[in-house]
Each structure stands twice: as C-alpha cells, then as structure tokens.
Amino acid sequence: MRWSFTLGTFRGTAVRIHVTLLIFLAWIGMAAFQRGGAEAAGQSVLFISAVFLCVVLHEFGHILTARRFGIVSPEVTLLPIGGVADMESMPQKPWQELLVAIAGPAVNVLIAGALLAVSGAFNLHEAAQIANPSVGMLERLAATNIFLAIFNMIPAFPMDGGRVLRAALAMWLGQANATRVAAAVGQGFAFLLGLAGLFGNPMLLFIAFFVFMAAAGEAQMTTMAEAARGLPAVDAMETRIATIGRGATVSEAIDTLLATSQDDFPVVDAAGRPAGLLSRGEIVDALRESDPGAPVAPFARKELALIGARDNVDVALPTLNQGDPVGVVDSDGRLVGLLTRQSLAEIMMIREARPDWRFPKRAPAP
C-alpha cells in the first residue's frame, strides 16, 4: 500500500504503518499534551505504543489463522481503522474466510479479558475516556481493545465485519454475488458513518470516506477476479500491439508512439523475445535527454512481467492492479500478446453480456 513505511518483519510478514495512522496517533498525543502537558503526552505515547501492539496482535490473529489454510501474508499495513493484511490469496471456502476474519477481533476480546482480569474492578464510563491520562492505563487499554473488536465487526469492507458478512452470504449466494451485496451494505454503513461525522466527530467523516472507497475497490477486485477465473491468457490478450526492437533508435520509437494509442511498449530482441518495457513517458524522456539517433532501449526502466499463453489470467491480476501490463509468451518465449487492464475490462463486459461466450472451450492457441 502506498504512503506506508516498514516497521519490522515477523515470521516472514513485514509490518507496515500507513501515514494516516501516524496522523491519527499524533492527534491523540496532542490532545493529551493540551490537557496535561509534557508528562501526560509522555504517558500518552506509552499508551499509544501499547495500542499499536494490540493492533499488530489483532493482525497476526488473521495472519496465523490464514497460515493454517496455507495462505501466506507478505505484509500487513496498519491503518487508523485497524490493519489490512495483504494476503496472497483469500481462503476459497467461505467458512475458512469467516474464521480468518473473525480471528482478529477475537484476539482483542482475549486481550481485553486478560487486562480486566489483571486490573480487577472496571468502570466502563471511566475507561471509555481513552484520551484522559488520569484513568488507569490498563483500563483504557482494555476499553480500546473492546472498541477495536466492536469497530472491526462493523459489516463494511475493509473491516473484518465486512468479510464475515461476505463469507456468511457466500455460503448460499456464491462469492461474486456475496461481495456485491456486502459491498453495498458496507457503502450504506459508510454513508451512515459519514452522516454521524457531519453532526459529531469529524474523524468519522474521514473513516467513512476510507470505508466507502475500500468497499468500491473490493467489489471491483472481486468482479475482475471473477471475470478472469479459468480464463487462459491467450483468450484475453491484445494481439495487435506495437513493439520496439532492442536496437531501435529514439526517433523510431517516437514514430511508433505516434502511430498507436498504446501507453506501454514491450521491447523485443531479434527473435521476438521480451527484453523490457518502455512507457510513453520514458520515450519522451529519451528524446529530451539524448540524440534522436541514439538507441532507446537503455531508457526502459522496467522489466515486463510475463505469463504463458496457457496460464490463467488470475496470475496476472496483481501486476495489472498496479497498472502495469503483462506480456504473454508462447512456449519458445516469444511475445505473442499483451494483457492490460483495458483487455480485462473488455472481457468483463463480454462475460456480462454473454457468460458462456467462448468459454470454457475455444480453438487451440497459436
């Protein structure tokens, strides 16, 4: 996720913090400083660190449960609304997704229970003042964990409650329809949150925006994955693509740029094998920084991600989601086509109009 920094790595999962969470934490620290000066701010920093730890433990509740189903999470990003574990895939069975989703809030409930057992008496009204340093640290931490558990169970993406709802719906609606319904419910909740934010805490308005965007993103990702499912690259790729020879000059590259409406141009060697990717911007950079007769290939800063013609389009989704195209190669490693977000969007439209169009069978690949 953009705008985030790595804090450290635990069991192969990088823990990253999003800049919006830093802003949120600074806001809590400043509130403490205004109330009670430097000492209160110091205590508040300690408290914040403890909350941090609870959020990380919450995430590892998800991550370690997912690992039981064979799913690895390379990174987890901490946001003001909790954390988002970037799992390589989601559990296929709804009951597995349900367990993974519910494991996070369950960790917070366990932490709250343990803290309450240690601190003894508990005054909910006092503990709820999490920014008030005169209330005991353990009680505030327990209250924060209860808050985290409840907040994350709001049935809206990307909160865990959204996934629990989707998993429950998927048991009889199917994954795609369940996501659509869950995303709509989530956006409804985001709207209510926003409304509450307008008349109350402005922080809610900010969270509502986050939730609304996440719900839309989740719905689109799932629709894309659904359209791509079981589809070989050869059926979805663009075949009329302009490439740039490895030995081509800047001036030749400009001609190719003008002749097409492509954003990115695969660089190929004499045998037609991919040797990099030139973006429109890089070609223009080449014209600015070097001679028109100079070779253009050194300006290619990116490798072209590759996929076999018979491989499933699903494999290319992460790269496509980052906005980069994926080259499709035949068994000899020669470039035969290009997968772009555009080609996937077309497949989505075609599958919507005629779900059985050319699928699952089709004429043999070239």
**Residues in touch with Zn ion (CB under 5 A):** 104, 160
- Decide whether 167 or 336 has the Cβ nearer to Zn ion: 167
- Decide whether 29 or 91 has the Cβ nearer to Zn ion: 91
Strand partners, 14: 9, 75
Least separation in angstroms between residue 158's CB and Zn ion is 9
Which amino acid is it at 178? A
- Both tokens of 207, joined, read 């969270």
Least separation in angstroms between residue 73's CB and Zn ion is 12
- Decide whether 106 or 317 has the Cβ nearer to Zn ion: 106
Whether 343 and 231 have beta carbons less than 8 Å apart is answered as no
- Decide whether 160 or 282 has the Cβ nearer to Zn ion: 160
Measured CA to CA, the distance from residue 129 to residue 15 in angstroms comes to 28
Beta strands in 115-173 (DSSP E): none
Strand partners, 15: 8, 76
Measured CA to CA, the distance from residue 161 to residue 167 in angstroms comes to 10
Least separation in angstroms between residue 107's CB and Zn ion is 9
Least separation in angstroms between residue 163's CB and Zn ion is 8
Least separation in angstroms between residue 206's CB and Zn ion is 19
Least separation in angstroms between residue 148's CB and Zn ion is 9
- Decide whether 190 or 275 has the Cβ nearer to Zn ion: 190
- Decide whether 139 or 160 has the Cβ nearer to Zn ion: 160
C-alpha to C-alpha distances, 131 to 33, 105, 127, 322, nearest whole angstrom: 10, 22, 10, 39
Least separation in angstroms between residue 82's CB and Zn ion is 5
Report the residue closest to Zn ion, judged by CB: 104
Whether 100 and 65 have beta carbons less than 8 Å apart is answered as yes
Angle among Cα 323, 325, 330 to the nearest 5 degrees reads: 160
- Both tokens of 69, joined, read 């189903």
- Decide whether 104 or 245 has the Cβ nearer to Zn ion: 104
Task: Please give the helix or strand (H or E) that residue 279 lies within, else none.
Answer: strand 274-279
Measured CA to CA, the distance from residue 230 to residue 314 in angstroms comes to 8
